[in-house]
Structure 1
Amino acid sequence: MGERKRIGLVAHDYRKRDLIDWADYNRDILMQHDLYGTGTTGGLLADKLNLPVHRFMSGPLGGDLQIGAAIAESKLDILIFFWDPLQAQPHDVDVKALLRISIVYNIALACDRTSADFLITSELMDKEYDRFLVDYGERLKNLKIDEE
């Protein structure tokens, strides 16, 4: 992971205002990094805060999957995902997949403002970082051997 981080920004409808407020508060830090967002969220961040955001499709239309693919392809280092814990989403399986892929590829993940604040102000934000990747393929092979 380089000094300039690639940050994914995603928010459910009822959390978009929270993410915009958070991004506004941390605007100076965010400007030092490359930002990516799902369609609607990325558009709001670009329009309201004048932040440069590479936009994927809207989350329910495949944007969550595009973010997940970017994580799997080592094209994102951090995911800030303000999801709504009180509202069922029609694409809940995509949401769960996005959280799971973040863990599989060991990227930094924050799902609320406090965690996002701690993450974005970490002394590692402007330093290179060697991310450790668990070899899940090897673990799966060993699991099958143990079951036999």
Structure 2
Amino acid sequence: MRIGLAANRLHHASEDAALFRWLRACEPGIRELQLGLHAVGRTHDAIAAAGMLAGYRGLHRYPYGRDGGLMKLVAEVVGLEDDGQMRELDGAIYLIDPVDPSSTFPEAVALKRQCVIHGKPFVSTVASARAWIEQERILAGFAADPGADRLFEHRDQTLALIAHDAMKPAMLAFAAAHFDLLSGFAQRIGTGTTGERLNELAWSRGWPAGTPWVQRYQSGPLGGDAQIADRVLERHCQRVVFFEDPHVARQHEADIQLLERAVTTVTDDAVCATSPAMATRWMAAVAKRQAARGD
């Protein structure tokens, strides 16, 4: 598996920065998975300077961002043929500092968009990156890492379920397919119409009539994304499944960005899935991990 890797300056500026916290926790898993990490220049150089992933042949250096490194990650997420060889990434880990202007550059926005369009993981927080490595380890047949337990203790967590109009059928299908596992969360929250339709689904599945399966907030355009962003910032919501439609302009784009910024602000605590493919793979890992541990 080949994954693009980038981190804004804040996340590799000190010994305890986010990039290094993630690598210290996940280096054994990265090596077990033989994961190819295709790192933009400054991120690669910071890893090397810190002496991490020493001797690991799966770490590859791309140009600096200013020289097109992030643009190359975008192109390879899409996939392209070069001299008869296919260059394609299976997703991207981009540890975002929400107040770094470069996180809003076209190539940064395009990286996420192309991952969502092609059903590939886009991982933007330390917690998400930690959980993603554990997910892939479990699906590859490795034993559960106790160090990742807190990320999978869903009985104490709140889950946000959000979907844009064109993605609402996909959200309903996802909830129906994984209803029992999703019901294991302490609480589920959602915006407007998505929450209403999820409650109707839950009642049809035997959830107590009149008792909300999802606590509904306002619709997205009326501020629901902002309300859930506050829950994330207060660390009262640990998981966000946000099925975005990358093909349409959205009137409440600022609210959507606000929620995304909230997730990356609490980078060690919030885990986010941005596509049905990513969320479905997470559920498969949850089920397998729980079965192996006898939960």
TM over 0.5: yes
Gap runs ≥5 in structure 1: 127-148
Letter in 1 for 2:199: A
Moved more, 50-59 or 38-47: 50-59
Give the counterpart of 1:108 among 255, 271, 280. 271
Partner of 1:48: 201
Give the counterpart of 1:38 among 191, 207, 210. 191
> How many residue pairs were aligned?
126
Return the alpha-carbon distance in structure 2 between the equivalents of residues 30 and 66 of structure 1: 21
Shift of 1:3: 4.1
Structure number with greater Rg is 2
RMSD: 1.9
Calculate the TM-score normalised by the size of structure 1: 0.78
Partner of 1:9: 161
Identity of aligned residues (%): 31
For 1:75, what is the secondary structure of its paired residue? coil
Partner of 2:176: 24
For 1:97, what is the secondary structure of its paired residue? helix
1:78 and 2:239 correspond: yes
For 2:176, what is the secondary structure of its paired residue? helix
CA deviation string 1:34-85 (max 9, x = no partner): 2100111100100123261111111110100001000001110100000110
Specify whether residues 9 and 3 from structure 1 end up closer, same or farther in structure 2 by C-alpha distance, changes over 3 A only: closer
CA deviation string 1:10-44 (max 9, x = no partner): 00111111100111111110111121001111001
Structure 1 stretches of 4+ moved >4 Å: 123-126
Greater relative contact order, per chain length (Cα 8 Å cut-off, separation 6+): 1
Gap runs ≥5 in structure 2: 1-149, 208-212, 291-295
1:86-105 → structure 2 map (5 Å cutoff): 86-105=247-266
